[in-house]
């Protein structure tokens, strides 16, 4: 487990990797084309936690790896770029830490969902 500790005059601030994993998973799931499998996970091969996100904090730099499933028909490059931008911006804004890398692994592609009323 990684943690970042910032000792201030008024006390210390501790940010664990689990917090960053939660932020990253939430932001990745907002990207159009990212899907959840039948178990409700972002990926069929979740890594360190149930959302398929690994975080490593070194000094004040954050390294994030996100495993996702995507829906067929979307641009994989666009999905990955959107995930990287959203995660980096949100983690930096919420924690004050520098995100050095956001690596995205596409581990599964799912069929498009059928629209309601179409059989």
Residue 110's CB is within 10 A of a number of other CB atoms, namely 14
The confidence score (pLDDT) of residue 100 equals 97
The confidence score (pLDDT) of residue 41 equals 46
User: What is the domain partition of the chain in residue ranges?
Assistant: 3-110
- Mean pLDDT, consecutive 10-residue stretches, the chain (119 aa), reads 68 86 93 72 45 86 93 95 98 95 92 62
Beta bridge partners of 16: 3
Backbone angles phi, psi at 93, to 5 degrees: -65, -40
DSSP-derived pairing of the beta strands 98-110 and 61-71: parallel
The confidence score (pLDDT) of residue 74 equals 95
* Maximal CA-CA distance, the chain: 63
Which CATH code fits 3-110?
3.30.70.1350
CB distance 66 to 104 below 8 Å: yes
**Coil/strand/helix, residue 34:** strand
The confidence score (pLDDT) of residue 38 equals 46
């Amino acid at each position: 487990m990684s943690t970042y500790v910032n000792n201030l005059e008024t006390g210390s601030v501790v940010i664990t990797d689990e917090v960053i994993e939660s932020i990253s998973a939430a932001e990745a799931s907002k990207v159009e084309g990212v899907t959840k499998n039948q178990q409700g996970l972002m990926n069929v091969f979740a890594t360190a936690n149930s959302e398929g996100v690994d975080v490593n904090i070194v000094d004040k730099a954050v390294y994030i790896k996100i495993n996702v499933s995507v829906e067929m028909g979307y641009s994989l490059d666009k999905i990955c770029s959107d995930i990287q931008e959203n995660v980096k911006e949100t983690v930096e804004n919420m924690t004050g830490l520098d995100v050095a890398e956001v690596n995205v692994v596409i581990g599964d592609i799912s069929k498009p969902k059928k629209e309601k009323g179409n059989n």
